[in-house]
């Protein structure tokens, strides 16, 4: 049971009704008066020189308002390293490079116009493999950097390494060592609502952009820089975030299509909307990076880990996004999942002519956890130790400082492991399934749970504007993209302030009205929103109680008079209201202000709205608005040493799978999953479940089916027909959810972030169950039937 | 050349111009101003654009607009009663976390409604069979199946 009035209680999310009724308005549904439709012409080569662009036919098409190329627009540099341009001149470096764009009065005309644009190319040698890209003599994707300095290699200049303890000594101390190479594929975030925006300028050349973004304030910074590059010095971009059809990391960067909409809107003087079709989303929006990890870890005779080494190579594609900061999060599991003293990590990111990549849920963590947790079971097998026991032996504990210098506050990993083992009936089912081809496996995770500092500020603010009707109007810069941020605010703020949840009215995220927030990523949304909500609520309560000190006695005197009129025989209890009406003696609960130790009389309770009106409608009246700003006690990691306490607290968890493998077809059937997660404290059970079930489904897709297939840089499966995300049938197995509450001191109401953890350990848990079932180790995601059959064949071959 | 078609939309007669090759989805979202129906993939794979034609759920992204002439079409807007009263399925999705980002929700709710119109006591397997053409990336489907079960209980008068 929850100790709270609202927090911890199952509560319908505030946006659920509108969403179920089709009344939530996404970018696809929005229109502006006079709005035009933009469409982009993309490259037809992975690497080529642009010889000419002929837009004359497109320009002549009736209904076309503007045709832009890199040659008739200001150059806008974009991207994390500013190595990309909104519209390309001279050269294309990937199939999806934006060459030209059209604005027209309807989408069909815009599409037709794009078809009429003729581009002549001179194809250039290209490179599609990150290892080949780093070899001597490889074609260069970029020959100069954003500052114009010559570039001599395809190495993305963002190294990250970590070395702690003595790796060689750790290896010498190991009685058993397991090593292996693991890979993860390109995958699509596959938001149900595709990407899009509307850009509109006023005649002062200030921009308003309705964007599908998770980082409205960093986006504002990016767009403002673009306005400057367009010669619109001192002008401002206002970013508004409509309802979002999923984010999953796609909104952590600003995108070329947004700048193209901005350019088109500026050129035409009309609002311009660009929305991607599903095919465009698959082919032209950045997927999650592919990765290759080499891992080596060892343990002593007793199973204690003595060292771990992980070397990761990532295929960046043609341009650098925020996703290239993945290593800052990869460091967490590499250095800090289970106790291990001697650690080495090295990350290399290579430019190629493949589609450029961006972040996705988990942010590097699933990639390396796949290697670590799969390899840990190999180590257990070598050491002859039960994999569950091996994990318990090395389990993290509260109060630990890890090699990355993470300060572990609370840690429920041991309980997560135990609950997973119980849920799987581990002792009875482990290892005896070979005949039945059934097996069980588990894997764990650590992730940021208290913000994640990958920018110089990790802060978030909130403004509360209380009105005459007792509404608490909330302005917050975080983004509701389906995860339930607004549900958390709805309950948490009502709890902290002492009003009813229905009094909480959450406004659209808008850079013009909301305080700054770094972005909704790193599982930080609810944590940060509620930390700032608690600060704001406390400020509001102080002001309310100060106001009550002045006004309460008068209000209740009038209430008492009315009450006595209605009940003439009523004798009020002896209570000196004027003497008791001191700010430190007031309480606010469920929207009523009262004196804590006062008799329980109806006239001694004042509706918050009544008090606020009394404060407003007096001489020199006042209104009540408060603001807060919270920057968590965490550190920006030093990428040279791979250390830094990136989060104020850490989320832990373990997932377990029971699978049955058909050795004739290679099909893997999941019979059951257990998901045990240390969430600090449950905020709203149903939204928490939604986050974990939903992440787990993405983990299943990552494990078994999802892969963006490419050939020479071209995406071969740009649609749900050939890119398989789990349907309701793939999710038909029972999921046993085990919620571990560690009540974190830094967490709001004790809660930690939970947005990403649910997909981190899913794939290795399944792979470990497959290993238990049929004795084969799959190294490369996704685990397709072909890979299972190949591995079974290899098992049958006598080793040479 | 456009033709005028007449059909029943959410219980009310409409006459509207439609063109050969026009998708029902575009007719609904464009001239008829019903944006509750979503385009998720435009190839019949995701179910976000599900509407009911003569009580059967169909993908409006594949359905020719001209073909609804003389038929009955129900969209997500048509499930709502007067004064914003939610239908049993809508209410259950709202109450039991059947929605997250909400983009698949109209299609899910319509598919669920079509099932519940025929069977107010579906097994979980029947619910899953009905929903298999509706993709969701947020929920893992667990609480969607729960929502449909709850709606069914409600329709049977058990809750």
Q: Name the pLDDT band for B83 (thresholds 50, 70, 90).
A: very high
Size of interface A-B (CB pairs under 8 A): 182
Residue A136 in domain: no
Asked if A656 and A674 sit in the same domain, the reply is yes
Structural domains of chain A, count = 3
Q: Considering A275, A308, A343, which residue would you say is the last residue of a domain?
A: A275
| Mean pLDDT for chain B overall | 97
Contact yes or no for A732 and B128 at CB 8 A:
yes
Is B3-79 in CATH node 3.40.50.10310?
no
pLDDT for A796: 85
Give the tokens for residue A204. 């002062």
pLDDT for B159: 66
Residue A7 in domain: no
Distance in Å, alpha carbon of B64 to nearest chain A alpha carbon? 17
Residue A168 in domain: no
Residue A377 in domain: yes
Asked if A324 and A389 sit in the same domain, the reply is yes
Contact of A375 with A178, CB cutoff 8 Å: yes
Q: What is the pLDDT of residues B4-42, one digit of tens each?
A: 999 999 999 999 999 999 999 999 999 999 999 999 999
Asked if A406 and A305 sit in the same domain, the reply is yes
Q: Considering A212, A241, A275, which residue would you say is the last residue of a domain?
A: A275
Q: With contacts defined as CB-CB under 8 Å, which chain B residues touch A248?
A: 137
The CATH code of the domain that includes A57 is: 3.90.1170.50
Asked if A391 and A511 sit in the same domain, the reply is no
Instruction: Determine the residue among A728, A729, A762 to mutate to test chain B binding: the one whose Cβ has the most chain B Cβ atoms within 10 Å.
Output: A728
CATH fold for the domain made of B82-155: DNA polymerase; domain 1 (1.10.150)
Contact of A224 with A323, CB cutoff 8 Å: no
> Is the pLDDT assigned to residue B158 strictly greater than 90?
no
Query: Are B3-79 and B82-155 equal in CATH topology?
Result: no
Asked if A379 and A256 sit in the same domain, the reply is no
CA A284/CA A250 separation, integer angstroms: 12
Residue A181 in domain: no
pLDDT for A799: 57
CA A534/CA A542 separation, integer angstroms: 12
3-class DSSP assignment, residue A288: strand
Reference A504, options A469, A472, A544, A465; nearest CA is: A472
Residue A134 in domain: no
Please name the member of A481, A482, A719 whose beta carbon is closest to the beta carbon of B45: A719
Answer whether the bond into residue A267 is a cis peptide, omega within 30°.
no
Contact of A751 with A683, CB cutoff 8 Å: yes
> What residue in B sits closest to A480 (Cα-Cα)?
B101
Asked if A265 and A298 sit in the same domain, the reply is no
Instruction: Determine the residue among A192, A273, A481 to mutate to test chain B binding: the one whose Cβ has the most chain B Cβ atoms within 10 Å.
Output: A192
Q: Name the pLDDT band for B1 (thresholds 50, 70, 90).
A: confident
Q: What is the CA radius of gyration of chain B?
A: 15
pTM over 0.95: yes
Sign of the CA dihedral with B41 first, then B43, B45, and B49 last:
positive
> What residue in A sits closest to B28 (Cα-Cα)?
A29
CA A338/CA A380 separation, integer angstroms: 14
pLDDT for A435: 57
Q: With contacts defined as CB-CB under 8 Å, which chain B residues touch A243?
A: 101-102
Q: With contacts defined as CB-CB under 8 Å, which chain A residues touch B40?
A: 192-194, 278
Residue A360 sits in which domain range?
290-454+636-796
Which residue matches tokens 């129900």?
B74
Asked if A382 and A494 sit in the same domain, the reply is no
pLDDT along chain A (800 residues), means of 10: 88 98 98 98 98 98 98 97 97 97 97 98 98 98 94 96 98 98 98 98 98 98 98 98 98 98 98 98 97 98 98 98 96 98 98 97 98 98 97 98 98 98 95 76 98 96 97 98 98 98 98 98 97 98 98 97 95 95 97 97 97 97 97 96 98 98 96 98 98 98 98 97 97 98 97 98 98 96 98 80
The answer, yes or no, to whether ipTM is higher than 0.90 is yes
Asked if A221 and A96 sit in the same domain, the reply is yes
Q: Percentage of residues in chain B with pLDDT exceeding 90?
A: 98
pLDDT for A436: 67
Q: Considering A275, A304, A335, which residue would you say is the last residue of a domain?
A: A275
Distance in Å, alpha carbon of A79 to nearest chain B alpha carbon? 27
Asked if A439 and A327 sit in the same domain, the reply is yes
CA A499/CA A107 separation, integer angstroms: 47
Q: With contacts defined as CB-CB under 8 Å, which chain A residues touch B140?
A: 690, 692-697, 726, 731, 735
Asked if A656 and A767 sit in the same domain, the reply is yes
Host H or E run for residue A629: strand A624-630
CA A178/CA B126 separation, integer angstroms: 46
> What residue in A sits closest to B30 (Cα-Cα)?
A29
**What are the domain boundaries of chain B?**
3-79, 82-155
Q: With contacts defined as CB-CB under 8 Å, which chain A residues touch B98?
A: 16, 20
Contact yes or no for B37 and A22 at CB 8 A:
yes
**B37 in reach of chain A (CB within 8 A):** yes
Q: With contacts defined as CB-CB under 8 Å, which chain A residues touch B109?
A: 20
Q: With contacts defined as CB-CB under 8 Å, which chain A residues touch B38?
A: 22, 26, 28, 192-193, 245
Contact yes or no for B97 and A690 at CB 8 A:
yes
Q: With contacts defined as CB-CB under 8 Å, which chain A residues touch B106?
A: 20, 22
Q: What is the pLDDT of residues B37-75, one digit of tens each?
A: 999 999 999 999 999 999 999 999 999 999 999 999 999
The CATH code of the domain that includes A492 is: 3.30.365.10
Residue A16 in domain: no
pLDDT for A431: 80
Give the tokens for residue B123. 């097994």
Please name the member of B79, B89, B101 whose beta carbon is closest to the beta carbon of A246: B101
**B3 in reach of chain A (CB within 8 A):** no
Residue A118 in domain: yes
> What residue in A sits closest to B90 (Cα-Cα)?
A20
Asked if A240 and A340 sit in the same domain, the reply is no
Instruction: Determine the residue among B100, B116, B126, B131 to mutate to test chain A binding: the one whose Cβ has the most chain A Cβ atoms within 10 Å.
Output: B100
pLDDT for A296: 98
**B153 in reach of chain A (CB within 8 A):** no
Asked if A385 and A366 sit in the same domain, the reply is yes
């Amino acid at each position: 049971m929850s100790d709270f009035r609202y927090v911890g209680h199952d509560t319908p999310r505030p946006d659920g009704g509108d969403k179920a009724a089709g009344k939530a308005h996404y970018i696809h549904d929005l229109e502006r008066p006079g709005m035009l439709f933009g469409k982009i012409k993309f490259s037809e080569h992975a690497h080529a020189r642009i010889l000419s662009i002929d837009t004359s036919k497109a320009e002549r098409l009736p209904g076309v308002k503007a045709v832009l190329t890199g040659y008739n627009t200001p150059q806008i540099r974009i991207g994390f390293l500013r190595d990309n341009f909104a519209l390309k001149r001279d050269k294309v470096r990937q199939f999806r490079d934006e060459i030209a764009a059209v604005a027209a009065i309807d989408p069909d005309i815009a599409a037709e116009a794009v078809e009429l644009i003729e581009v002549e190319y001179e194809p250039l040698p290209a490179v599609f493999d990150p290892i080949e890209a780093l070899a001597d003599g490889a074609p260069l994707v970029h020959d100069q950097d954003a500052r114009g300095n010559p570039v001599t290699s395809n190495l993305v200049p963002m190294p990250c390494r970590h070395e702690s303890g003595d790796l060689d000594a750790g290896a010498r101390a190991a009685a058993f060592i397991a090593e292996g190479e693991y890979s993860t594929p390109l995958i699509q975030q596959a938001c149900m609502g595709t990407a899009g925006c509307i850009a509109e300028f006023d005649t002062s050349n200030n921009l308003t952009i309705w964007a599908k973004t998770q980082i409205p304030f960093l986006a504002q910074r990016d767009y403002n820089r673009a306005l400057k590059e367009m010669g619109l010095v001192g002008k401002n971009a206002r970013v508004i975030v409509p309802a979002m059809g999923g984010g999953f990391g796609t909104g952590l960067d600003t995108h070329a299509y947004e700048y193209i909409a901005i350019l088109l809107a500026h050129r035409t003087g009309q609002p311009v909307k660009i929305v991607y079709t599903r095919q465009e989303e698959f082919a032209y929006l950045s997927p999650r990076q592919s990765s290759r990890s080499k891992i080596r870890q060892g343990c002593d005779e007793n199973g204690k880990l003595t060292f771990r080494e992980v070397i990761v190579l990532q295929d960046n594609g043609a341009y650098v996004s925020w996703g290239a900061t993945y290593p800052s999060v990869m460091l967490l599991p590499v250095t800090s999942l289970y106790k291990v003293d001697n650690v080495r990590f090295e990350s290399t990111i290579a430019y190629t002519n493949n589609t450029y990549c961006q972040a996705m849920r988990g942010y590097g963590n699933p990639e390396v956890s796949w290697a670590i947790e799969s390899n840990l079971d190999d180590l257990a097998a070598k050491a002859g130790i039960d994999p569950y026991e091996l994990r318990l032996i090395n389990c993290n504990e509260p109060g630990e400082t890890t090699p990355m210098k993470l300060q572990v506050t609370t840690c429920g990993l041991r309980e997560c492991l135990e609950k997973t083992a119980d849920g799987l009936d581990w002792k009875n089912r482990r290892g005896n399934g070979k005949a039945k081809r059934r097996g069980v496996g588990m894997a764990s995770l650590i992730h940021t749970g208290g913000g994640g500092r990958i920018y110089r500020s990790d802060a978030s603010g909130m403004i509360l504007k209380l009105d005459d009707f007792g509404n608490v109007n909330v302005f917050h810069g975080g983004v509701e993209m389906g995860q339930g941020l607004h549900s958390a605010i709805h309950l948490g703020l009502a709890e902290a302030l002492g009003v009813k949840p229905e009094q909480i009215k959450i406004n659209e995220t808008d850079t013009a009205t909301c305080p700054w927030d770094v972005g909704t990523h790193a599982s930080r949304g609810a944590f940060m929103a509620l930390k700032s909500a608690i600060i704001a609520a406390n400020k509001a309560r102080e002001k309310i109680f100060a106001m009550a000190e002045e006004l309460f006695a008068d209000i209740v005197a009038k209430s008492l008079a009315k009450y006595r009129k209605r009940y003439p025989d009523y004798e009020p209890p002896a209570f000196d209201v004027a003497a008791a009406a001191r700010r430190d003696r007031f309480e606010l609960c469920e929207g009523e202000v009262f004196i804590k130790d006062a008799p329980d009389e109806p006239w001694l309770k004042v509706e918050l709205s009544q008090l606020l009106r009394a404060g407003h409608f007096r001489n020199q009246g006042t209104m009540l608005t408060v603001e807060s700003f919270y920057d968590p006690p965490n550190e920006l990691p030093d990428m040279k040493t791979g250390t830094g306490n990136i989060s104020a607290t850490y989320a832990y968890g373990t997932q377990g799978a029971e699978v049955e493998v058909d050795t004739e077809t290679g099909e893997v059937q999941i019979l059951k999953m257990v998901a045990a997660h240390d969430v600090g404290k449950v905020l709203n059970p149903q939204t928490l479940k939604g986050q974990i079930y939903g992440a787990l489904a993405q983990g299943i897709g990552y494990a078994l089916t999802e892969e963006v297939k490419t050939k020479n840089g071209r995406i071969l499966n740009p649609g749900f027909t050939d890119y398989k995300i789990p349907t309701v049938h793939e999710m038909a197995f029972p999921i046993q959810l085990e919620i571990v509450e560690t009540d974190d001191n830094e967490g709001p109401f004790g809660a930690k972030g939970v947005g990403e953890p649910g997909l981190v350990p899913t794939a290795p848990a399944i792979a470990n169950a497959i290993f238990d079932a049929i004795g084969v180790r799959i190294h490369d995601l996704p685990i397709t039937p072909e890979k299972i059959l190949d591995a079974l064949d290899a098992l049958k071959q006598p080793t040479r | 050349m456009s033709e005028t078609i007449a059909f029943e939309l959410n219980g009310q007669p409409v006459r509207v111009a439609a063109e050969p090759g026009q998708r029902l989805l575009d007719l609904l979202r464009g001239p008829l101003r019903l944006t509750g129906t979503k385009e998720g993939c435009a190839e019949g794979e995701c179910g976000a654009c599900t509407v009911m034609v003569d009580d059967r759920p169909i993908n409006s992204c594949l359905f020719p607009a001209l073909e609804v002439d003389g038929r009955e079409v129900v969209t997500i807007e048509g499930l709502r009663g007067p004064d914003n009263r939610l239908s049993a399925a809508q209410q259950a999705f709202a109450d039991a976390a059947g929605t997250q980002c909400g983009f698949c929700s109209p299609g899910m709710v319509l598919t669920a409604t079509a099932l519940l119109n025929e069977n107010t006591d579906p097994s979980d397997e029947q619910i899953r069979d009905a929903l298999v053409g509706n993709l969701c990336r947020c929920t893992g489907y667990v609480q969607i199946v729960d929502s449909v079960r709850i709606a069914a209980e409600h329709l049977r008068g058990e809750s």
